[in-house]
Amino acid sequence: MIEGVVTKQLKQVSDERGWLVEILRSDWEHFQKFGQVYVTAAYPHVVKAWHMHKKQTDNIACIRGMIKLVLYDDRKKSKTKGEINEFVIGERNLLMVTIPPEVWHGFKTISEDHALVLNIPTELYNYKEPDEHRLPPNTDKIPYDWKLAPWLKHG
């Protein structure tokens, strides 16, 4: 596992009314702080990658559909520099993944319908100076093959 990455298996509580899943609680050991919450949607086979943050920690869970979340450690002083982690998460595997600053990450929707990905970053999005660094999904700087569908928009 990449240094600083934390995973937490999430528990679904179900009854005759429906179900509930707690994604992140302030009393959990790995909770740092709250910046904001957002949901992003991705259509089947679409890759949203690569990006990383210098300051922000992401707390990601897939709440609809299934995704393959991929992380790449390019930090110079990390014990796990060069390591890649893959997580298949979503409705069938309720997992929250905490991604530390400076770890490249992205995801691909692997379900037949769109996926909804929830992120609870530690920082507010700064519209004037975003803490968002990007590379295209097919970059040579990250040794990973997303097997991009050529007819879809990725990035």
* Per-residue model confidence as pLDDT tens digits over 111-134: 999 999 999 999 999 999 999 999
Question: By residue range, what is the domain housing residue 61?
Answer: 6-134
CA distance 108 to 129: 27
44 pLDDT tier (thresholds 50, 70, 90): very high
**Segments in the chain forming alpha helices (H):** none
**Does residue 148 lie within any of the structural domains?**
no
- Residue 139 included in any domain: no
For residue 23, being part of any structural domain is answered with yes
93 found inside a domain: yes
What's the mean per-residue pLDDT of the chain? 96
What is the Cα–Cα distance from 93 to 66, expressed in whole angstroms? 8
Q: Is residue 147 part of a domain?
A: no
Give the separation between CA 119 and CA 125, rounded to whole angstroms.
12
Give the residue-averaged pLDDT of 49-67: 98
CATH number assigned to the domain comprising residue 76: 2.60.120.10
Whether residue 27 lies inside any domain: the answer is: yes
Count: domains in the chain: 1
